[in-house]
Amino acid sequence: MRILVTGGAGFIGSHLVRRLIQSGRHSVVNLDALKYSGNLENLADLADHPHYRFVHADIGDQKAVHAALVEHRIEGIINCAAETHVDRSILDPGAFARTDVVGTGILLEEARQLGLHRFLQVSTDEVYGSVEQGSSTESDRLEPRSPYSASKAGGDLLVLSYWTTYRFPVVVTRGSNTYGPNQYPEKFIPLFATNAIDGEPLPLYGDGKQCRDWLSVYDHAAGIQHVFEQGEPGTVYNVGGGNERENITVAEQIVAALGTSRSLIRFVQDRPGHDRRYSIDCSRLRALGWSPQVPFEEGLKQTVEWYRTHEQWWRKIKSGEFKKYYRQQYEKRLEKGTSCASS
């Protein structure tokens, strides 16, 4: 199938593009606006591949989206394009609404008008909100608590409405916290790994006991492809790793993998509305034939090692726009923070 992957130069998108092409069943057009976290270096090995094309455009640009769909005779869309970081959504919520809701709507309508065969919306388990007990199922009420998760929930509901209203064949995946190579270093694991490599403090929010279900990007990409190819139209599928860990535990595993001091971990002021725990039930996707393959401890060690051996990739990123964001987000917090060694 000829697939348009939006946001294909980003973290999850780039791994998905590579997987789709390597499967030998699809050709891929990667449409990406190349905002701060989009990086064509992530797909440098595919630049000349006969089944890969790149289009520099924003999903909010209706004319550009239409042109790409028509020119490349696209048959299906996987929408990975999104503003994705909770901290940034608190700083600039409008950008998240424009991309995650309005941009998604433009993609949907163009796809419907042109009669595409499939539309997959890549979403997040954060739309369910904080889960104190048990695990969220796909039929649970959405209770997003940040501008990021609210914008993703809005996009999900818009996508699903196209099945109810038009019988347009859409599916939605909601992934848990994803980690792996090529992840922009604002996110927890790459931020802590790269800071630890440089002997810099690791800013851990609150008491560090927030719990997340960690999912390898390789398993996440496999889950997305599986749903795209085999999922039932109008259906949501949770994609989780089954690896619930407290943030403090993951931070300690990162410093241990690098042989650095636990004293680098600094407890800092928590973010507003920080969800305590996420947990999702993936029975529906498992029944479809998918299951995660990467054990968390093994995957984490391999990921930390990737950042240790690919300093050229992340140092360029952390020397640019990232510096301003990092100072704004963490400078004052770190001044008032306390060392993990003193706790």
Catalytic residues: 125-126, 148
* Sole residue written with tokens 């927030």: 210
Tokens of 31: 């449409």
CA 267/CA 59 separation, integer angstroms: 38
Q: Other C-beta atoms within 10 Å of 289: how many?
A: 8
Phi, psi torsion values for 270, nearest 5 degrees: -70, 160
At residue 3, what is the residue type? I
Alpha helices in the chain (DSSP H): 11-22, 62-71, 86-91, 93-97, 104-113, 147-166, 188-197, 217-230, 247-258, 283-287, 296-309, 311-318, 321-336
Give the CA distances from residue 236 to residues 6, 173, 198, in Å, rounded to whole numbers and listed in that order: 19, 6, 41
CA distances from 176 to 90, 126, 211, 240, 282 (A): 20, 8, 11, 5, 10
CB distance 149 to 83 below 8 Å: no
**Which residues pair with residue 79 across a beta bridge?**
6, 121
Cβ-count burial of 215 within 10 angstroms (0-12 exposed, 13-18 middle, 19+ buried)?
buried
